[in-house]
Structure 1
Amino acid sequence: MKTLSFLLLFIGITAFAPPPEVKLTTTKLASGLSVGVPATFTPLPDDGIAVKYPSPRKPLAVFTNPSGRVDFSVAVRPTTFESMDYAVLLKIYKASIQRLYSKVEFLKEDIRTVKGRDFIYFEFVSTVSDGGRTSQLAPIKKYQTVQYAIQGQQMYVFTFVAPANEQAQWQPTAQAVMNAIALK
Structure 2
Amino acid sequence: MKNAFFVLLSFCLFTSTSFAQSSSYGSKNKVTAPANRNYNSDAPIKLKKVTIAKRVTVALPEDFTAMPDEGIAVKYPAARKPLGVYSSPNGQVDFSVSEKPTTFIARDLPLVKDIYKASIMRTFSEVQFIRDEVKTIDKKQMIVFEFVSTLKDENPNSNKAPVKKYTIIQYYIKAGKVMVFSFNAPAIWKDKWQKAANEVMNSIKVS
Equivalence for 1:49: 72
Mapped to 2, the partners of 1:89 and 1:20 lie a distance apart of 38
Q: Counterpart amino acid of 1:90?
A: K
Measure, in 1, the Cα distance between the counterparts of 2:70 and 2:154.
32
Query: Within 5 A, what are the aligned runs for 1:9-158?
Result: 21-158=44-181
1:47-90 deviations in whole A, cap 9, x for unaligned? Answer: 11111111111111000000000000000111111111111111
Secondary structure of the residue aligned to 2:171 is strand
RMSD: 1.4
Distance 1:22 1:109 in 2: 25
TM-score (norm 1): 0.86
For residues 27 and 157 of structure 1, the distance between their equivalents in structure 2, rounded to whole angstroms, comes to 17
Q: Give the stretch that moved more between structures: 20-29 or 137-146.
A: 20-29
In 2, distance between residues paired with 1:77 and 1:68?
25
1:132-184, CA deviations, whole angstroms, 9 ceiling, x for partnerless residues? Answer: 32221110100000000012111100000100011001111110110000013
Q: In the alignment, residue 187 of structure 2 is paired with which amino acid?
A: A
For residue 31 of structure 1, report the CA deviation from its aligned partner: 4.0
For the Cα contact (< 8 Å) 1:22–1:176, is it kept in 2? no
Deviations 1:17-74 (A, max 9, x none): xx86542211122344212211110000111111111111111100000000000000
The normalised TM-score by structure 2 is 0.77
- Counting strand residues as a fraction of each chain, which structure ranks higher? 1
Rg (Cα) greater in structure: 1
Separation in 1, partners of 2:162, 2:201: 27
| Equivalenced residues, count | 166
Identify unmatched segments of 5+ residues in structure 2: 1-41
Q: Distance in 2 between matches of 1:20 and 1:89?
A: 38
Cα distance in 2, alignment partners of residues 58 and 32 from structure 1: 16
Secondary structure at 2:158 match in 1: coil
Q: Closer, same or farther in 2 for the Cα pair 1:132/1:41, shift >3 Å?
A: same
Structure 1: distance between partners of 2:103 and 2:65: 33
* Aligned-partner SS, 1:147: strand
Contact 2:53 2:84 in 1 (8 A): no
List gaps (5 residues or longer) in structure 1. Answer: 1-18
Structure 2 letter corresponding to 1:110:
E
